[in-house]
Amino acid sequence: MTDRKTKINLMEKAIEARKHSYAPYSGYTVGAALLCEDGSIVTGCNVENASYGATSCGERTAAFKAVSEGKRRFLAIAIAGGKEGDTDYACPCGICRQVLREFSDPKQMEVFICKSTGNYKEMTLEALLPESFGPENLQ
């Protein structure tokens, strides 16, 4: 269970990462901060592309960056996003949920979807991706 200080730190880093988002087509900016098993935090933002299929979500950017740095276990993620003035929370898409599932225990991985450190939803990855398929299913 992530302590309050770490949770707030993750949300602050996700909000900061959102500022680096490249979203000229949708205006939907997303920042993510991923807590790895070794205690490090890796951030990412969404990067859009004129060829929409080449777009990368903030959550996947953070996950792929972490994996490229040798991190293979994720404990928690904070996600901040949406359009300017939007009141809805930026929940991870299905592809991002599956990528996060690859490197975490869905029952344990915490997901914080925030607008600010005082305005957020908290859930597990399992709640977002019930009855998921993961690497252990292949063994």
Residues noted as catalytic: 59
Distance of CA 126 to the CA centre of its chain: 14
Q: Which residues pair with 47 in a beta bridge?
A: 22, 56
**45 near 18, Cβ under 8 Å?**
yes
CB-count burial class (<10 Å; 0-12, 13-18, 19+) for 130: exposed
Phi, psi torsion values for 34, nearest 5 degrees: -110, 125
H-run or E-run covering 116: strand 110-116
Q: Is 38 exposed, middle or buried (0-12, 13-18, 19+ CB in 10 A)?
A: exposed
